[in-house]
Structure 1
Amino acid sequence: MLNQLTVQHFAIVQFLELDFNTGMTTITGETGAGKSIAIDALGLCLGSRADANMVRVGTDKAEISARFTLSDTPHAKQWLLTNDLENEDDSSECLLRRTVNKDGRSRAYINGTPVPVSQLKSLGQLLVNIHGQHAHQSLLKSDIQLSIIDEYAAHDQLLQKVKDTYQGWHFLNKQLKQQQANQQEKQARKQLLEYQIQELDEFALGEDEFEQVETEHKRLANSGALLESCQISLNQLSDGEEFDALTLLRSSVSALEAQVENDKNLENIVATLQEAVIQIEDASYELRHFSENLELDPEQFQQLETRMSDALSLARKHQVQPEFLFTHHQKLSKEFKQLNSGEQQIEQLTADLEIAEQNYYQHAKKLSLSRSRYAKELSKKITVSIQKLNMEDGVFHIELLESANKSLSPLGLDNIEFQVKTNAGQTLQNLAKVASGGELSRIGLAMQVIISQRVATPTLIFDEVDVGISGATASVVGKLLRSLGENTQIFCVTHLPQVAGNGHQQMFVTKQSDGKITNTTMISLNEQDRLNELARLLGGDNITTHTLANAQELLVAG
């Protein structure tokens, strides 16, 4: 529960330090005094959006702190423990603090530790539930209506399962659509590749084959010239009919050997010439062998000519160098396989998507069945409650309809319609069509009270939710809220004396201004002050014996 709220330099508040008790606390005040200002400050401390206008004029920053007792809030204690933010001095207490600078920047703290605002909001939802004065208008929205059923039925786990399975399905569906779109774009490319690869497959050029063909083609193209050159060289070296190099060398060696005895210096020259004779003999032998084995095969040459010509033609067609044609072939084949694997991915994604959809429907149908059961239960309770709130012939009904378009949603398969019959003899119709403002307020309040009795939030705030209600109905509302306050801490900002008189305690908001500076304060009222305030709410500023007597009748003993 909320123990203490401290507000400094917030809007038109200079300083407030408020201590709170259990039970129902009613908050009243003159019109325009700022009855909801403490609620707004608390909302900021619970993670609502900060704004520079919240800082009191002439000051640098606003600061709000709220102290809570956690003995009745095990979920909040566990949250603090999980996030390592528990109060080291006293784990049964929690202090939330928020500051807002005049430039609009804000800071948040939990038990003295700086935290993101998102964490402040997450913890705040476990501590306080605020029902605003315009909340009943949201009852006309289908998503709000669905959330009311889910909140009443405590569908957190079921709803999370549906959301999780929806996210899984949605992710796969997005991937499949993307893959299908890509596949359509690639289809033309695949057809082209199929034709090109077939052509290259039929040609079947091997790795390094073009270089080998080119070398062999060049050799055969020049075989005639090679043979002629070989014959000429052989004649010049050793096979000449009259003179050749070998004959001349041998003659020179013989002549010089005869003169060695006359001059020993010729020995080295003779040895060199003898080596030259041997080398020419070897070269002649190898050249003769080469000539004898040199093939002149026109048919083979023609085959090589055709192969190389086709290779050059394909290379031009594919815009690559002929020596890279084999590599290009492999590259195209690899790309084609990848395109085929895209089809396999589509098949796999389609199968996975079907499983994900079945999984979603399994949990969504469980949620639908539970909603149907709790819709009947809640309908009966709201009907009983609104009949007590001066709608004697009123009937409330929650109609659950399966989604017409069968589209998957993170909220499940259901459409919802709140229906009401306000008078005898009428038929049930859509709430938006038949409910007046006052009737809508009563229905909304009945819902809030019923749901609050089931939701384990220790502190509930009703901010002028009794708008449009008066007379005997207001008295019933007051008693209803007081009974709720027997087990839950209730704060109720109200303008109705019938409601205010039902509080276990009452606070009064007043505004003072000297023409230059305005300041709002809030004080706790004793019994006499409460009587005077109730009398003011009944009859205005002119308090009479009669209005005091009426106020006494309204004041329920604390």
Structure 2
Amino acid sequence: MIHEISIHDLGVIQSATLSLTPGFTAITGETGAGKTMVVSALGLLLGDRADSGVVRHSAERAQVSGRWTITDPAVVARVTELGGVLDDHELVVTRAVSSEGRSKVVVGGAPTPVGALSDIGDHLVAIHGQSEQLRLRSQTAQRESLDRFAGDSVRTPLSEYQTIFRRWIDSIARRDSMTKDASERIREAEELRAAVAAIDAVAPVAGEDVALKAKAERLSNSEELRRAAQEAHEALSADDAEFDAVSLVESARRALERVTNHDSAIETLLTRISEASIVVREAAQSVSAYAAGLELDGGDLEQVHERTAEITALVRAYGPTLDDVLALWSTASDRLFDLDRSDDVLEELSATIAADEESLDALATRISAARDDAAQRLSGAVTTELHALSMPTAEFVVRVAPQSGTDFFAHGRDAVEMLMRPHPGGDPKPVTKTASGGELSRVMLAIEVVIASTDTVPTLVFDEVDAGVGGASAIEIGRRLAILAKSAQVIVVTHLPQVAAFATNHLRIIKDTSGAITESTITRLDGDERVEEMARLLSGTPDSDNARAHAAEMLNSANQWRGENG
């Protein structure tokens, strides 16, 4: 469960801390006070998208943090994988959004990508709001809601089905491409064979063009190089010269040896001259070897030019570089292998497609059966909720039928539609076309409450899902949320005193318009403060004696009901 949410510079809230408890927490406040910001803050911690618009006016950034107790091994493993640390099962998540819209996330003390928040949040909190009610108007969302209610009976085979479905789609696309483009494949194979044959005929190797250029330069100037080498060798070590470098260094050595007894520093000089003698002799040998190499090279410049021309032609045809030519040879050879065995590939693809279709058929049948069973259970449960919400003759029906068109879809082969029969004997019609505004809110709320009761997450958040409801229906909503709170932490943003009365923890968002910028704070209500807030919700003013008496009576009735219903 979540113990605390801290908010700084988010919307109209400059700084506030929500202390949350197990059970049922109600959040109330005036219009524009920032009740929605509480849900927005929680959404940011769960990975919702954010932009600079959430940052309070004149602030550099908005920051929210949440403190959870974590017992789910999957969450612990994911946090550890991200480098985060839990302190005695306690996890702190912080997210900051700059005025430029950039986000920074820290999970358990470790910087974390924003995308990882949803991986964690899906196990911690489920938010049910008006946006979810609007989303349930689409058949896709209705199917997803049924699947969520069904749980593992649909989730497990659907996961396996979708893996096979993706492979099946890819296999069909490959098969169709291969069969449709047979003439194109023949033309492609001919072009690739010509390219591979042309490259094989020359058989270039990597870097050969650079080596040939260097060799051509050397052969073109071999006489000049040879003369320079001979001249250098004679200067270093001529056979009949007295003034070559070797002879001069040797003369220097002998001159110093004659006076070595007169100064010990001479030894150091002799050592350096000996080193110089070695260097000069080695240089002379290297120059001699270079000159000999020029004599032995024997390279025919004409042959080098011919080889260069062959490689240049390849580069012009398949380049722009020799590396590109060699890369083309490799990819063309691989592609030819595939093209040459296309008949075998087609046969393998057909076998894979047939096997996958058999598996998809079995899994789709299993998924449909699970959906049918879940649809009956969901229909009965929502109908029961509707009766309690002052719609005693309404009947909710979830219809599961084969989807028209191709045999398989990404979600199976079922079309799911949520219908309602307002009165006995009538035909069920889509809920969005059958219910009035207030009734639609109750229908959607009933669906949300039933589905929420199957959620395995420890915290459920309801954001003004009671809009358009009042009176006895509102009392029943409060009771149902209180029942949910027995098995999960329930947080409800509401404007209805009948709902707030059933909360065991009541927080109020207080708006302050005295300054240039509207600010809001959050206060926990007990005793008279709670009675005053309930009176305000009832009559618009906390000072009315009648409203206060009614509020106190409402709280007493809710407390009595909780006591009687455990």
TM-score (ref. length: structure 1): 0.71
Unmatched tracts of structure 1, length 5 or more: 194-333
How many Å apart are 1:340 and its aligned residue? 5.4
CA contact (8 A) 1:128 1:457 kept: yes
8 Å contact from structure 1 (residues 390, 473) kept in 2: yes
For 1:488 and 1:337, how far apart are their aligned partners in 2? 60
* 1:537 counterpart residue number: 537
Match of 1:344 in 2: 344
Query: 3-state DSSP class of the match of 2:341?
Result: helix
- Equivalent residue in structure 1 for 2:119, among 119, 122, 134: 122
The AA in structure 2 aligned to 1:96 is: V
Kept after mapping to 1: 8 A contact 2:12/2:56:
yes
The partner residue of 1:141 within 128, 131, 138 is 138
| CA gap 1:188/1:8 in 2 versus in 1, 3 angstroms | closer
Aligned residues: 419
User: Are 1:169 and 1:360, in contact at CA under 8 Å, matched by a contact in 2?
Assistant: no
User: What letter corresponds to residue 28 of structure 2 in structure 1?
Assistant: T
Q: Is the 8 A contact 2:143 2:416 kept in 1?
A: yes
Task: Tell me if the contact between 1:29 and 1:509 (Cα under 8 Å) persists in the aligned partners.
Answer: yes
Cα distance between partner residues in 1 of 2:350 and 2:92:
52
Percent identical residues: 32
CA spacing shift, 1:139–1:189, aligned 2, 3 Å: closer
Question: Cα distance, 1:53 vs. partner?
Answer: 1.5
Bigger shift: 489-498 or 132-141?
Answer: 132-141
Letter of the 1:168 partner, please give it: R
Q: Could you tell me whether the CA contact under 8 Å between 1:395 and 1:421 is conserved in 2? A: yes
Note if 1:186 corresponds to 2:185.
Answer: yes
1:95 paired to 2:89? no
Going from structure 1 to structure 2, the CA distance change for 1:337 and 1:144 (only over 3 Å counts) comes to: closer
> Match of 2:343, SS?
helix
- 1:5–1:65 Cα contact (<8 Å) kept: yes
Contact 1:136 1:440 in 2 (8 A): no
d(CA) in 1 for partners of 2:92, 2:139: 37
Report how far residue 187 of structure 1 moved. 5.6
Deviation at 1:77, TM superposition (A): 2.8
In the alignment, which residue of structure 1 is the partner of 2:209?
none
Q: 1:153-187 deviations in whole A, cap 9, x for unaligned?
A: 11332221111111111221222122223324236
Deviation at 1:21, TM superposition (A): 0.6
Call closer, same or farther: CA 1:409–1:82 in 2, change over 3 Å: farther
2:228 corresponding residue in structure 1:
none
Hey, what's the Cα distance between the residues in 1 that align with 2:48 and 2:94?
Answer: 12
SS in 2 for 1:357: helix
Q: 1:67, 1:96 within 8 Å by CA — same for their partners in 2? A: yes
Structure 1 residue aligned with 2:379: 379
> 1:184/1:437 Cα in 2 relative to 1: closer, same or farther (>3 Å)?
farther
Counterpart residue identity of residue 158, structure 1: P
Match of 2:435 in 1: 435
Displacement after TM superposition at 1:427 (Å): 2.0
Offset at 1:499?
0.5
1:122-271 equivalence runs, <5 A: 122-154=119-151, 155-186=154-185
1:424, CA displacement in angstroms?
3.3
Alpha-carbon shift at residue 70 of structure 1 (Å): 1.6
Q: Quick check: 2:11–2:34 contact (8 Å CA) kept in 1?
A: no
Give the C-alpha shift of residue 79 in structure 1. Answer: 3.4
Counterpart of 2:354 in structure 1 is: 354
1:10-59 CA distance string (max 9 Å, x none): 12211112211111111111111111111111111111112111222222
- Aligned pairs for 1:449-528 (under 5 A) are 449-528=449-528
Q: Unaligned 5+ residue runs, structure 2?
A: 193-333
Contact persistence 1:176–1:350 (CA under 8 A): yes
Counterpart check, 1:77 vs 2:76:
yes
- The one-letter code sitting in structure 1 at the alignment partner of 2:145 is I
CA distance in 1 between partners of 2:512 and 2:176 (Å): 64
Aligned to 1:35: 35
* Residue 514 of structure 1: how far off its partner (Å): 3.1
Q: CA RMSD in A?
A: 2.6
The structure-2 alpha-carbon separation of the partners of 1:186 and 1:442, relative to structure 1 and needing over 3 Å to count, comes to same
- Counterpart position of 2:258: none
User: Against the structure 1 CA distance between its residues 339 and 100, is the aligned structure 2 distance closer, same or farther, given a 3 Å change threshold?
Assistant: closer
Distance 1:467 1:357, change over 3 A: same
Paired with 2:418 and 2:479, the residues of 1 have a C-alpha distance of: 26
Structure-1 separation of matches of 2:148 and 2:338: 50
Matched residue SS, 2:468: coil
Rounded Cα–Cα distance in structure 2 between residues aligned with 1:103 and 1:422? 50
SS in 1 for 2:35: coil
- What is the rounded CA distance, in whole Å, between the counterparts of 1:500 and 1:336 in structure 2? 73
The 3 A distance-change label for structure 1 pair 516 and 172 is: same
Superposed displacement of residue 484, structure 1: 0.9
SS of 1:36 mapped into structure 2: helix
Q: 1:134, CA displacement in angstroms?
A: 3.2
How far off its partner does 1:543 sit?
Answer: 3.2
Instruction: Tell whether the 8 Å contact from 2:83 to 2:110 is kept in structure 1 after alignment.
Output: no
Which residue in the other structure is 2:211 paired with? none
- Residues 13 and 34 of structure 2 are in contact (CA less than 8 Å); yes or no, is this contact kept in structure 1? no
User: CA separation of 1:533/1:179 partners in 2, compared to 1, >3 Å: closer, same or farther?
Assistant: same
Please state whether the residue corresponding to 1:126 is helix, strand or coil.
coil
State the 1:336 CA deviation.
9.7
Aligned 8 A contact 2:130 2:464 in 1: yes
Q: Distance in 2 between matches of 1:338 and 1:26?
A: 65
Q: Aligned partners of 2:381 and 2:416: how far apart in 1?
A: 18
